[in-house]
Amino acid sequence: SDFPTRHNYGLALWQEGIERVLAGWVDELAVPTYRGVEVAAFAQHETGVAMELSDGRALHASYLVGCDGGRSRIRKLAGIDFPGWDASLSYLIAEATMTDPEWGARPNERGINALAKLEDGKRVRAVLNETHVKHGEPTLDELRAALTAVYGTELAVRDVTYLSRFSDAARQAASYRAGRVLLAGDAAHVHSPAGGQGLNLGVQDAINWDRLAQVIHGTAPDLLLDTYQTERHPIAARVLRNTMAQTAAMRGDDRTKALHANLTELLQLEGPRKRYAGMMSGLDIHYDLGPGHPLLGRRMPDLELDTTAGPRRVFSLLHEARPVVLNIGAPGTFDLAPWADRVRLIDARYAGPWELPVIGAVRAPSAVVIRPDGYVAWVGSGTDEGLCAALTTWFGPPSWRLVGWCAGAQRLVRA
């Protein structure tokens, strides 16, 4: 609650509700959607990817992004390895009617079990660990066996409307890119749902694709797509380590309880508590964009700005999914004419503190470049040194008519 962010709390929402919101947004954008079909095969060539669909149709695209889950057919057809750790635990999750359920959590030596009321107040959502690791689609008999193992009775379970299985298997694609094929979400990484980090991780993969749009529109070179791997792969690797550690810590045997006691003492200290909260929330993500100001490569704070158009929040400036150069210094300091078609310049005033989660207060910059994903790509300290190179790196070279305007950036492009 003491993090310097507008929503400084944890909020648990059912994933199906979030999916409905995202699906409605896709419908608003009028994205063509083919339902009930899969990519059966594809072939890459110099200008794109030719796909065969399972219903016999053919599609062609400049790039193909596999967002098709942990068993991703796209990943397999692309020949991308998926190394990692096999499951040590498996869980059942179910929605059903039960007789006299014992509400709340019940830990055992393998982990957490829980029964919770659904929205109607009558039905039950159950999460149960299994006595042995199992795979595949679960059955009603397996649900009854898991209930009996934990509660001593199957609770007269009936009217099961949802039944699924998950595990703590942890795997990550060796590469997020193979030519014109990219991976995101569970196709790129699978892990235990401990801590609820998976959806944020996958959505941030997708938000990172603003550079894919630039490449498709010809404003940036194909080489820019390699930064997707360098930025996102380490973030997911850390989430895998984090969820494996959390899964181990959820076990209820005596040795793990000793670990609980030590962790409890450690997390009562401010430094470890903030580091852990930053990791769990994803607010401490840092992309390595080189040395410089602490803001560089980190999420831009959602400041309350005073602009010529009136009060504005920083995040409201990103709704158009365009990069923003935010000038906090004297108006008219920057000439961004060579990128006027791609980059938005905002002159603003802000006199409040600059704070980052985990890190705390940092010195105020004179200007920042904010990428469409909300992360800072350049920080100014009273001059425009490095600005041209940063704009060229992330948003493509300046207009050809002004090719001599930024010699340093042109050398970067040729390299």
pLDDT at residue 399, rounded to an integer: 66
pLDDT at residue 10, rounded to an integer: 84
pLDDT at residue 407, rounded to an integer: 47
pLDDT at residue 215, rounded to an integer: 93
Q: What is the pTM of this model?
A: 0.90
pLDDT at residue 13, rounded to an integer: 82
Q: Which of 275, 242, 285 is nearest to 373 (CA)?
A: 285
Please, what is the average pLDDT of the chain? 92
Q: What is the 3-state secondary structure (H, E, C) of the chain?
A: CCCCCCCCCCCCCCHHHHHHHHHHHHHHCCCCCCCCCCEEEEEEECCEEEEEECCCCEEEECCEEECCCCCCHHHHHCCCCCCEECCCCEEEEEEEECCCCCCEEEEECCEEEEEEECCCCCCEEEEEECCCCCCCCCCHHHHHHHHHHHHCCCCCCEEEEEEEEEECCEEECCCCEECCEEECHHHCEECCCCCCCHHHHHHHHHHCCHHHHHHHHCCCCHHHHHHHHHHHHHHHHHHHHHHHHHHHHCCCCHHHHHHHHHHHHHHCCHHHHHHHHHHHHCCCCECCCCCCCCCCCEECCCCEEEECCEEEEHHHHHCCCCCEEEECCCCCCCCCHHHCCCCEEEEEECCCCEEECCCEEECCCCEEEECCCCEEEEEECCCCCCHHHHHHHHHCCCCHHHHHHCHHHHHHHHC
Q: What gap in Å lies between CA 152 and CA 149, rounded to an integer?
A: 6
pLDDT at residue 398, rounded to an integer: 82
User: Is residue 323 within 8 Å of residue 395, measured between CB atoms?
Assistant: yes
Q: What b-and-e string marks burial along 169-200, b requiring 16 or more CB atoms within 10 Å of the CB?
A: bbbbbebbbbebbbbbbbbbbbbbbbbebbee
User: Is residue 243 within 8 Å of residue 195, measured between CB atoms?
Assistant: yes
pLDDT at residue 406, rounded to an integer: 59
Residues 6+ apart with CB under 8 A from 272: 266
Q: What b-and-e string marks burial along 133-142, b requiring 16 or more CB atoms within 10 Å of the CB?
A: ebeeebeeeb
- Written as six digits, the tokens of 92 are 């059942």
pLDDT at residue 283, rounded to an integer: 94
**Chain segment 28-64, per-residue pLDDT in tens:** 998 888 889 999 999 999 999 999 999 999 999 999 9
Q: Which of 53, 56, 96, 370 is nearest to 64 (CA)?
A: 53
pLDDT at residue 169, rounded to an integer: 96
User: Is residue 218 within 8 Å of residue 341, measured between CB atoms?
Assistant: no
List, for the chain, all residue ranges whose pLDDT scores fall below the cut of 50.
400-403, 407-415
